[in-house]
């Protein structure tokens, strides 16, 4: 085959393949919306300490929802110049919905009022149709980018956050734990305190070993998984330091893969803390009932240590 023919083929691929990918994009899953406050029953059960808000996504030109918890005293006149650390909680499950896991704000509020941790803002974002992945197969499927590039800047602009790494935390459970792990290793410059919980690292391993294939229906780009991203982070000479808190129930299906991932972090010489909730299956609320104070104090201690007064 002549060079001229090869060049023509490459040109046609460059022109038409991206168009073909866009043409094959599917609508988002049934029941998914970028604004998902939850059922009327759930909304009625939430305390008035939790607020639902939206912003217009610059990339999608549609509204995106989130819940936000603001600590006691936030609106007091004497605190009008005070800035607060912020923790982003990434929900589990697919598809995304900001209403998921919002009940843990009660643990946060109780700890602040009891004087066990300093006042802190908690944000519960929407992870998109594939929950914290950028997934081009779906229309408006860039869950990671909407969170990192749009939700975080919006929160920093609208609320009195400490808008830098030292005052920003990230945590999540299940799918949110997987998302936390991927995002913290991709963007360590954004977060000073990170705590992935109940993460399905076995699924992430399968994605790694199969060049991005999670299942017959779901495929990601190669390298877009917790294992490869941890290695990439460890190889960086200029990477900001991370010491994640990895939390998991001793009786959940993801327990063994969490231990294996911790062994992998040992191999990579990435420091971490381990928190095991004895007797608990795959349930974030139940873990919070017996170990939530330790998770909250982990973030609180990190903020106190690294925020420059």
Residues 23-40 have pLDDT tens digits of 467 777 777 999 999 888
pLDDT at 104: 95
In the chain, domain spans: 33-306
pLDDT at 2: 52
Q: What is the mean pLDDT of residues 188-211?
A: 96
Q: Which CATH number describes the domain made up of 33-306?
A: 3.40.50.1820
pLDDT in tens, 284-300: 999 999 999 999 999 99
Q: Is the pLDDT of residue 70 over 60?
A: yes
Give the tokens for residue 164: 């830098």
Strand partners, 249: 277
Instruction: Give the chain's mean pLDDT.
Output: 91
pLDDT at 39: 87
Between CA 38 and CA 97 the distance in angstroms is 8
Q: Is the pLDDT of residue 267 over 60?
A: yes
Token match 């999670």: residue? 214
* Non-local CB neighbours of 243 within 8 Å, separated by 6+ positions: 271, 272, 273
What DSSP string describes 45-79? HS-TTEEEEEEE-TTT-SEEEEEEE--TTTTSGGG
pLDDT in tens, 217-238: 888 899 999 999 999 999 999 9
Q: Is the pLDDT of residue 6 over 80?
A: no
pLDDT at 198: 97
Q: Is the pLDDT of residue 11 over 60?
A: no
Which one has a higher pLDDT value, 265 or 129? Answer: 265
Which one has a higher pLDDT value, 214 or 252? Answer: 252
């Amino acid at each position: 085959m002549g060079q001229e023919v090869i060049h023509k083929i490459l040109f046609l691929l460059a022109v038409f393949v991206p168009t073909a990918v866009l043409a094959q994009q599917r609508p988002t899953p049934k029941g998914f919306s970028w604004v998902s406050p939850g059922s009327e029953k759930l909304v009625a059960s939430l305390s008035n300490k939790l607020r639902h808000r939206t912003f217009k996504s610059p990339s999608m030109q549609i509204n995106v929802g989130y819940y936000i918890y603001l600590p006691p005293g936030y609106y007091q006149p004497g605190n009008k110049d005070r800035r607060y650390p912020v923790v982003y909680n990434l929900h589990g499950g697919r598809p995304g919905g900001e209403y998921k896991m919002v009940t843990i704000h009660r643990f946060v509020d109780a700890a602040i009022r009891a004087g066990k941790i300093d006042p802190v803002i908690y944000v519960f974002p929407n992870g998109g149709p594939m929950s914290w992945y950028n997934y081009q197969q779906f229309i408006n499927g860039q869950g990671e980018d909407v969170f990192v590039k749009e939700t975080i800047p919006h929160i920093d602009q609208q609320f009195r956050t400490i808008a830098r790494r030292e005052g920003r935390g990230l945590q999540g459970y299940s799918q949110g734990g997987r998302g936390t792990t991927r995002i913290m290793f991709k963007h360590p410059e954004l977060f000073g305190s990170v705590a992935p919980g109940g993460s399905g690292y076995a699924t992430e391993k399968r994605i790694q070993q199969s060049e991005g294939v999670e299942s017959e229906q779901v495929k990601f780009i190669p390298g877009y998984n917790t294992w490869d991203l941890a290695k990439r982070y460890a190889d960086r000479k200029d990477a900001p330091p991370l010491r994640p808190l990895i939390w998991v129930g001793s009786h959940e299906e993801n327990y063994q893969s969490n231990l294996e991932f911790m062994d992998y972090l040992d191999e990579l010489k990435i420091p971490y803390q381990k928190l095991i909730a004895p007797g608990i299956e795959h349930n974030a609320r139940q873990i919070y009932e017996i170990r939530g104070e330790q998770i909250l104090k982990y973030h609180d201690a990190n903020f106190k240590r690294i925020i420059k007064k």
